[in-house]
Amino acid sequence: MLVGPSKCRNEDYIRINVKFASRVVTLGHILSYVPVPFRPFVAHLIYPPSDKRHLYNHLKPMIDERRTSLDSGSDTTVESDDYLKWLVEATRNKPDDMDIVLRNMHMNFASIHTTGLICTHMFYSIACNQAWQTEIRDEARHAMKEHGWTKKALEEMVKADSFIKEVLRFHGVSSVALTRMAVKPFTFADSTTVPAGTMFCAASRAIHFDSAKWVQPEDFDPFRFCHAARTELNGMVTTSYDFLAWGHGRYACPGRFFASYELKAILAYALVNYEIFLQGGGACPKIHWFVAACMPDSSATLGFRRRPGGAT
Ligand code: HEM
């Protein structure tokens, strides 16, 4: 989706993007203590600028290729209809290749750790309950039989959708959402006024566990979102004041539509082909908190036992 099928499997390209994604939050935090005028220098000291150049070398030929095909009007292939092409298209009047590379790094950062964390929570939760596995697997097999491995099949997997949405409610990536900074003095509807520079956020975990809003919020109920009739409003990607795992409003996660299909495809594929279990059995792995981040237990080990008659 970002750079096309061949580059996204390039090990060197993956390595640098993962390195950047896993360091940028900590380094950003360190930089926030540095006076603004010195930040560009300190940033260069604590993160190697050579990584940017390295990624530039990876992407530059592809950027040129997309620009040439756009300019010549010969770009009709679905294969190159990716984020790189959209950026080239959007910057046609003011091309800046390094800017495109940086935006791509930013997009990788936004998608890698979030999806990775939710995917891990998702597998731990499903590994602990064989009955849920059977229900979601049956649904996936049925949808695939009807539609093959297609977007339509994924859309029909309402139990998988509900299960992952419950993972997002119950764990999510953070206990807070909508982190913002007031750039000028701001007055809320209830007359609370905050001065410029104030940072604030919504207590999403408290809202997700509020019994005034949710039925038995302390229970992980995998199918809570498909007990009621299925509507657009109870699907995984729908945000609301009560469900803040993707944020809400104007800046809600724009990657959630992609992420929802991606997570469902991973879960469905794994369940159709494997029995999933926790190595050594025992209770479901505990979550850990790193400041506001909800981290899965890194010491737990998942087991995958191939099922006869799976589908690839
Ligand atoms: C399960 C996976 C994901 C979760 C839980 C998640 C969650 C979030 C959250 C909570 C925000 C902040 C929203 C706000 O401040 O109101 C956000 C922003 C963002 N996400 Fe995601 N995200 C996920 C996957 C992705 C993916 C796969 C992409 C890209 C392909 C992506 C791209 C972005 C971008 C670009 C922003 C910034 C939006 C802006 O500030 O306008 N995310 N995400």
The whole-angstrom separation of Cα 197 and Cα 32 is 13
Looking at the fold, whether 140 and 279 belong to one and the same domain comes out as: yes
The whole-angstrom separation of Cα 22 and Cα 295 is 13
Query: 115 C-alpha to center of ligand 1: Å?
Result: 9
Looking at the fold, whether 305 and 165 belong to one and the same domain comes out as: yes
- The whole domain housing 37 covers 1-95
Looking at the DSSP assignment, which residues form a beta bridge with residue 245? 247
Give the pLDDT of residue 196: 97
Looking at the fold, whether 138 and 217 belong to one and the same domain comes out as: yes
Mean pLDDT of the chain: 93
Looking at the fold, whether 132 and 46 belong to one and the same domain comes out as: no
The answer to whether the CB of 115 falls within 8 A of the CB of 123 is no
Give the pLDDT of residue 251: 95
Residue 83 lies in a domain: yes
> For 28-32, 80-84, 134-138, 290-294, which range has the lowest pLDDT when averaged over its residues?
80-84
**Nearest atom, ligand 1, residue 244 CA:** 10
Residue 42 lies in a domain: yes
- pLDDT band for 81, please (50, 70, 90 cuts): confident
Looking at the fold, whether 69 and 199 belong to one and the same domain comes out as: no
Query: 283 C-alpha to center of ligand 1: Å?
Result: 31
pTM value is 0.92
Residues framing ligand 1 (Cβ under 6 A):
107, 110-111, 114-115, 118, 173, 177-178, 245-247, 251-255, 258-259
**Nearest atom, ligand 1, residue 248 CA:** 16
Residue 23 lies in a domain: yes
Give the pLDDT of residue 282: 82
Residue 105 lies in a domain: no
Looking at the fold, whether 76 and 128 belong to one and the same domain comes out as: no
Last residue of a domain, one of 95, 128, 149: 95
Residue range 62-68: average pLDDT? 91
Query: 259 C-alpha to center of ligand 1: Å?
Result: 9
Looking at the fold, whether 90 and 192 belong to one and the same domain comes out as: no
Give the pLDDT of residue 6: 87
Q: Which residues are annotated as a binding site for heme?
A: 253
Query: 96 C-alpha to center of ligand 1: Å?
Result: 24
**Nearest atom, ligand 1, residue 259 CA:** 27
**Nearest atom, ligand 1, residue 179 CA:** 15
Looking at the fold, whether 213 and 307 belong to one and the same domain comes out as: yes
Looking at the fold, whether 160 and 259 belong to one and the same domain comes out as: yes
Looking at the DSSP assignment, which residues form a beta bridge with residue 274? 306
The torsion angles phi and psi of 291, rounded to 5 degrees, stand at 50, -115
Residue 88 lies in a domain: yes
Residue 115 lies in a domain: no
Q: State the CATH number of the domain containing residue 259.
A: 1.10.630.10
Looking at the fold, whether 72 and 153 belong to one and the same domain comes out as: no
Give the pLDDT of residue 73: 78
Residue 256 lies in a domain: yes
Mutate to test the pocket of ligand 1, among 114, 176, 240 (most ligand atoms within 8 A of CB): 114
Give the pLDDT of residue 233: 63
**Nearest atom, ligand 1, residue 118 CA:** 1
Task: Name which residue sits closest to atom 42 of ligand 1, judged by CA.
Answer: 255
Residue-wise pLDDT for 181-191, tens only, equals: 999 999 999 99
Residue range 55-63: average pLDDT? 96
Residue-wise pLDDT for 201-243, tens only, equals: 999 999 999 999 999 999 999 999 988 766 656 799 999 999 9
Query: 168 C-alpha to center of ligand 1: Å?
Result: 13
Mutate to test the pocket of ligand 1, among 111, 253, 258 (most ligand atoms within 8 A of CB): 253
Looking at the fold, whether 253 and 214 belong to one and the same domain comes out as: yes
Give the pLDDT of residue 295: 96
Looking at the fold, whether 273 and 311 belong to one and the same domain comes out as: yes
Residue-wise pLDDT for 254-296, tens only, equals: 999 999 999 999 999 999 999 999 998 888 999 999 899 999 9
Q: What percent of the chain has pLDDT over 90?
A: 83
Give the pLDDT of residue 168: 98
User: Per the structure, how many domains does the chain have?
Assistant: 2
Residue 103 lies in a domain: no
